[in-house]
Every structure is written in structure tokens, then in C-alpha cells.
Amino acid sequence: MLFQWELLLFIFIAYLLGSIPTAVWAGKCFFGIDVREHGSGNAGATNALRVLGIKTGIGVLLVDALKGVGAVSLSFFAREAFHLEEWFVIYQLLLGGLALVGHVFPVFASFRGGKGIATLAGIVIIIFPEAVLFCLGVFLLVFIPTRYVSLGSVVAAIFFPVAVIWIFPTDLMPKIIFSLAVAIFVPLTHKKNIRRLLKGEENRISFRKK
């Protein structure tokens, strides 16, 4: 039986996992630059693709997603502590949320991180596997013709509660609330991108080698 301090330890570890500044470390280790000083100034996978090139950018994307996967997966070590499925899901969402906070405000990178889309994807892969496939399809339908990652991310986030509530319905209220929170959180973190999109100034992703 797990003790309360062990549950709290997993919460702390989840934040530390999220705080791994993949794009920042990749830029400094392999290119001698801080990605936050180039491109959009964001320490996320999209700016890594733009500034560091496709190979490094994809690597950053995968590691950032794995941060979310790893944080939520810690919950399975604590499964026996929760007798109700609803409370277990709440704990999973708490761990994922702390990883997301860590990505946006990383302790290892002066609390200047990314927007958390890749880490968020890792979280929903574990908790909402069917819905994430649907949202990935929505993202690709928007991204492939436009090459706007921001637009694809915002549209996919807006459709996320549609998938959770109607397409793959759940009766667990924490999941429904989380899906609605995602639909609000992602557009809010992309306010500058939305303004640039409306002005026609948003940068498209280029797949040329750096």
C-alpha cells in the first residue's frame, strides 16, 4: 500500500519531467544557441523545427511528448491507492497537469519554456487514446495544406471535447472537464499566433534541412 508521501513524490517527479527543456538543451548542446533567442522565441518543438531543423525538431517533439507519457504513467505505480476510477483519473490528470506546468515554466530553464502542445499530446495519448487519434487526424487535415502548426493545434484542441463527449463518450466528469479546459487553454497560449494568422504574418513550417 502506497503512503501519501509516495503519491506526493510522484507529483514532484511529474513536474521535474515536464521541466526538462528539450529544445533549449538540444540547441545549446548541438548548435551552441538558445532557441528562445531565435525564431518565435518559444522553447517548444515547433520553434525547434524552425530553428534547429527537421531532425532535431522531431527529436524534441518526441521527447516532449514522452515527458507527458512518463508523467501520467507514474500513476500506474499508485493504482492500488485508488478504489474509485474517478479518483484515479483525477490523479492521472494531476500528474499530467504538473508535467505541462513544468514544460511551460521549467525549473531547469529559468521558468521560460514552451506552450506545451507536445507534452499535452503525450498526456492525452495515455488517458484519451481514441480521442487523440481523432484530434491527430484533425491536426493533419489543417496542417498539411497550410503548414501552420499553430492553426492545426488550435483547431485540434477545439475538437478535443467533441471527441471526448460525443464521438468517444465517457461518463467520467474529470475527463470531460479536462477536455473542455484543453479547448480553452490551447487557444489562450496561442493568442499571438492567432493575431499573426489574422494578419497573414504567421510563419509556416519549412521542411528544408538546416
- When pLDDT is averaged across residues 158-182 and rounded to a whole number, the result is 97
* CA neighbor of 182 nearest in space, from 154, 143, 208: 154
- When pLDDT is averaged across residues 81-102 and rounded to a whole number, the result is 96
Let me know how many helices (H) and strands (E) the chain has, helices first. Answer: 10, 0
Domain carrying residue 102: 4-199
Instruction: Calculate the alpha carbon distances from 90 to 57, 82, 85, 96 in Å.
Output: 32, 10, 9, 10
Are the C-beta atoms of 161 and 176 separated by less than 8 Å?
yes
Residue 207 is assigned to a structural domain of this protein: no
Are the C-beta atoms of 146 and 138 separated by less than 8 Å?
no
Nine cell digits for residue 166? 460525443
Residue 72 is assigned to a structural domain of this protein: yes
Residue 51 is assigned to a structural domain of this protein: yes
94-113 as b/e: b if 16+ CB within 10 A: bbbbbbbbbbbbbeebeeeb
Residue 127 is assigned to a structural domain of this protein: yes
Quote the pLDDT of residue 1.
Answer: 54
Quote the pLDDT of residue 205.
Answer: 86
Total domains, the chain: 1
